[in-house]
Structure 1
């Protein structure tokens, strides 16, 4: 039987990814997809990268330039961009009135995100 989960990312602890970027990984029970919410501050560390997963990046709040294959896309609340498999991309937040809240949806699943966030949750529990 499939696992069913529910939650609220506003009640989840934020894991630091790198300077200016924190995230919550949610829906970790899903088999074929990985979902994250990222909070990206002005002046975030820019890190061009690729991965074999397809990705949809969706901005919920704030503003950013999201570069895909060297092309900048100006994203504002409600904007999204697709990132094909193995195409270089990155987010750059530099003039957003508030931190950029961005949802990423990856397929197939990214078990390294689930493992990292699960370990982070265990550390948070130990600190309490």
Structure 2
């Protein structure tokens, strides 16, 4: 068994204004992300599928050609390989779930 206090763990800089702490198993991982108001995570893609659950705040996602706002208590699914970006409409905290594991994030933000 592994366990980690994601909220209490040191968070590294993901992008300016975005900090993350990660925790992973064999096939799935979590990324706890804190976003400052107005920060934009630039357009990118990765082969892993992603579900983002908003713990607090409000975000604007662009996933391929779709744009949607997601608020606290809501989640959005991003298929593997889909181009996406996100902007924090207010200070926000999210939990990103990736499958399979993203080794790049685990290496940068903890295990």
TM-score (norm 1): 0.80
Larger proportion of strand: 2
Partner of 1:18: 15
- Name whichever structure is richer in helix by fraction: 1
How many residues matched? 111
Q: Tell me the alpha carbon deviations over residues 55-109 of structure 1, each in whole angstroms, 9 at most, x when there is no partner.
A: 1011000111111113111111111110011111111113x2xx21011001111
Q: In 1, distance between residues paired with 2:55 and 2:18?
A: 15
Q: Name the structure 2 match of 1:88.
A: 83
Q: Structure 1: any 5+ residue segments left out of the alignment? A: 122-128
Q: After TM superposition, which residue ranges in structure 1, 4 or more long, deviate above 6 angstroms?
A: none
Task: Answer yes or no: is 1:35 the counterpart of 2:30.
Answer: yes
Measure, in 2, the Cα distance between the counterparts of 1:70 and 1:34. Answer: 26
Query: Aligned Cα RMSD in Å?
Result: 1.5
Q: Among residues 60, 64, 72, which one is paired with 1:77 in the alignment?
A: 72
Residue 9 of structure 1 and its aligned partner are, at CA, apart by 1.6
Q: Distance in 1 between matches of 2:66 and 2:17?
A: 22
Higher relative contact order (CA 8 A, sep 6+): 2
